[in-house]
Amino acid sequence: MESLRVLELYSGIGGMHYALKESGISAQVVAAVDINTTANKIYRHNFPDTPLWNKTIEGIPLDDFNQLSFDMIMMSPPCQPFTRLGLQGDVADPRCKSFLFILELLPRLCKLPTYIMLENVKGFESSSARDYLIKVLSGCGYTYQECMISPTNVGVPNSRLRYFLIAKMSAENSSIQTSDKGCSFSHVTDSEFPERSSVLRYKCQNIDQPSEDNPNVHVLYKRETQMDSQRKTNQNKDLSVQQIQDYLEPQMNINMELYLLKPKTLLRYGSILDIVQPHSRRSVCFTKGYGRYVEGTGSVLQCCMENEISSVFTNLDQLTEEEKLQKMFKLNLRYFTPREVANLMGFPQSFS
Characterize 251-264 residue by residue with b for buried, 16 or more Cβ atoms within 10 angstroms of its Cβ, and e for exposed. eeebeeeebbbeee
Strand order in the sheet with 52-53: 52-53, 27-33, 4-9, 72-75, 115-121, 162-169, 142-149
Marked catalytic residue, from 79, 96, 147, 183: 79
- Count CB neighbours of 319 within 10 A: 12
Say how many Å lie between the first and final Cα of the chain, rounded.
Answer: 31
List per-block mean pLDDT (blocks of 10 residues) for the chain, which spans 352 residues: 93 96 95 97 97 96 97 93 73 87 96 96 90 95 96 96 94 43 36 35 40 50 81 95 97 92 95 95 94 93 93 91 96 96 95 92
108 vs 111: CA distance, rounded Å = 8
- List of domains in the chain: 4-173+183-201 (3.40.50.150), 226-345 (3.90.120.10)
**Of all residues in the chain, what percent are helix, strand and coil, respectively (each to 5)?**
35, 20, 45
C-alpha 152, offset from chain centre: 12
What pLDDT shows up at residue 126? Answer: 87
Residue 85: predicted pLDDT: 65
Q: What is the model's pLDDT at position 228?
A: 86
Q: What is the pLDDT of residue 218?
A: 57
Give the start-end residues of each E strand in 150-291: 162-169, 183-184, 203-204, 219-221, 224-225, 275-276
pLDDT of amino acid 171: 66
79 is known as an active-site residue:
yes
Residue 152's pLDDT is what? 96
Nearest to 104 by CA among 70, 57, 142, 143: 57
